[in-house]
Amino acid sequence: MQKTIFITGGAGFIGSHVIRLMANKYPDSRVVNLDALTYAGNLENLKDVESLPNYVFEKADILDTKRLSALFEQYQPDAVIHLAAESHVDRSILSPLDFVYTNIIGTVNLLHAAKDCWKENYEGKLFHHVSTDEVFGALGTTGFFTEETKYDPHSPYSASKASSDHFVRAYADTYGLPVIITNCSNNYGPNQFPEKLIPLFINNIIHKKPLPVYGDGLYTRDWLYVKDHAEAIDLVFHRGKLNETYAIGGFNEWKNIELVKLLCKLMDEKLNNKPGTSEALITFVKDRPGHDRRYAIDASKINEELGWKPSVTFEEGLSQTIDWYFDNKEWLQHVTSGAYQQYYEEQYKG
Ligand code: NAD
Ligand code: TYD
């Protein structure tokens, strides 16, 4: 093997797409998936990758420093792509400390393990930190986030990701660790845990349950198909400039209520429902505290420097996503049994 790449959080939503892409595209690289398999991690996401000779799974918690040291010692990785995180804003409002531990302390543990392993011999090494546009806070009706936007996080999730980004830069400035940070907008696509807007609403429409739209439904997000994010990570990882940041977005802003109506229309068509059947499930519920009004990314830098742009339209991506959930009802059933029900009741109680 020419290279060993640690990918953390590879059993999660975005991580599993990054693993699939890297393990297939670079057969001479060994791809090691480090994942604690929390509620969001699921090895079923990687069934088609398991048998590849260059793929290895290691169940590992990034809070376990001894285990991290042992894994760095054993594999001597050339690079880390760090995706492991607590990732859901609503859960961060219910349990902020979990986000402090995994997203901040876990990231510092990983940075430190890489630094100790690489012993200042940084030639050919890279720590690629995968982060979010939510670190920049909220936009008004105009303007875009860029790589230069000042950090202004509002939720415990975004505050923990902002902090992790700062630690990544601190390790670069203090110890010379070669790093790259990518800040991406909202992802959607196959394998997303049905706590996030799109898969939650697909699952609820399948089960004819209410679609809980927070507040006035006029909050705006910039949506990117997960496979396009994985492609962007691959490009930046291989060709991005060291110690720089890349903002990644879909050039695809939607107000939540408009998105939900489009989703309802596509679902009705695919389910042979009478038009309007799914829309009738829309229920406005109490708002999320600290809810950021609008996110939108100006992804010019990655577009101009690396030639990246999204490959699918939103309608195509949504349609493929819905088809995936229809074709993977067992997956959906597994992840929504047990603890999911408790979370749902707590989050959506009146
Ligand atoms: P996810 O919640 O689907 O998956 C997270 C993965 O991390 C899971 O496999 C989980 O088991 C693992 N994990 C959690 N805690 C861990 C720990 N202590 N040790 C080891 N593994 C642990 O998340 P996602 O949506 O795929 O997001 C992946 C990354 O991308 C996160 O860092 C997130 O902040 C970032 N991001 C997500 C989005 C989005 O829209 N989902 C957008 C931009 C950036
Ligand atoms: P989400 O998928 O949780 O992503 P994020 O909070 O990281 O942007 O939410 C996307 C948008 O949808 C956000 O404005 C909150 C809203 N939303 C609802 O209206 N109802 C819901 O049940 C959920 C989960 C989200």
pTM across the whole model: 0.99
Rounded to whole angstroms, the Cα distance separating 260 from 204 reads: 12
Running DSSP on this structure, what letter comes out for residue 234? H
Take residue 263 and report the two structure tokens written for it: 């989703």
For 167-219, write each residue's pLDDT tens digit: 999 999 999 999 999 999 999 999 999 999 999 999 999 999 999 999 999 99
Whether ligand 1 lies within 6 angstroms of the CB of 232 is answered as no
Which two structure tokens, joined as six digits, stand for 237? 């990882």
- Going by CA atoms, what residue is nearest to atom 15 of ligand 1? 85
Domain ranges within the chain, ordered by starting residue: 3-189+222-252+294-312
pLDDT (tens digit per residue) in 89-121: 999 999 999 999 999 999 999 999 999 999 989
The residue whose CA has the least distance to atom 14 of ligand 1 is 85
CATH class of residue range 3-189+222-252+294-312 = alpha beta
278-307 residue pLDDT tens:
999 999 999 999 999 999 999 999 999 999
Half-sphere exposure of 280 (CA within 13 A, CB side): 7
State the Cα–Cα distance between residues 4 and 89, nearest whole angstrom: 32
C-beta 6 within 6 A of ligand 1? no
- Scanning the structure block, which residue is given the tokens 């060993």? 4
Count CB-CB contacts under 10 A for residue 64: 14
**Two tokens, residue 25:** 């595209």
* pLDDT surpasses 90 at 350: no
Residue 305 to residue 201: CA distance in whole angstroms: 36
